[in-house]
Amino acid sequence: MSKPATDNRLYSYSDYLTWPANERWEIIQGRPRVMSPSPGLNHQVVLLALASQFYSQLQGKACRVFIAPFDVLLADPDTPDQQVTNVVQPDLFVICDQSKLSRRRVKGAPDLIVEVLSPSSVKHDRYEKFLLYEQAGVREYWLVEPEAKLLTVFRLNENGRYGRPDLYAASGPVCAGVLPELVVDLETVFAGVESPEDLP
């Protein structure tokens, strides 16, 4: 299997499928980005707590929750693989339109995406993915900061842009705008977060 070269060429999902299966990559506007290093303890603690609440509350409902690694192709359903230049693996996402799902991937914008910030992913998640998800029409985008115990929620306006974010601190319930039946308890989400100075 080949790897993306360090040149100025643009890559597609067709190229992505030829890269080593033991490495995790994303493609943003045709540019490859290796996903390393692996997430840390607090990232995993928070992601697991979120996924547990999402799963238990959406079980048996029309919308389904998924966690990484699972390929999300941000493109129209009829776009050929060789023309898909945005491939991401969000930490957690919700799909309500089952026609977007296949055995190996999602093709189309999720209804809600959650990214849990790590020191190595802050710029990528706050800026590159923010613009990408907005452009793709992801209706709700959550950014979770484990150590700060902070949740920032962006919701898509009628004009197709993310408006002023809602900020939520360490405790209290948060209702998903696109999923009114989903209520997340932040106190539980952040309960297992360790202070950075306490970690080796």
Half-sphere exposure of 131 (CA within 13 A, CB side): 6
Superfamily for 37-69+90-192?
tt1808, chain A (3.90.1570.10)
How high is the mean pLDDT of the chain? Answer: 92
pTM for the full predicted model: 0.94
Residue pLDDT, tens place only, 21-51 = 888 999 999 999 988 777 889 999 999 999 9
Alpha-carbon 108 to chain mean position = 13
Q: Which of 185, 187, 190 is nearest to 57 (CA)?
A: 185
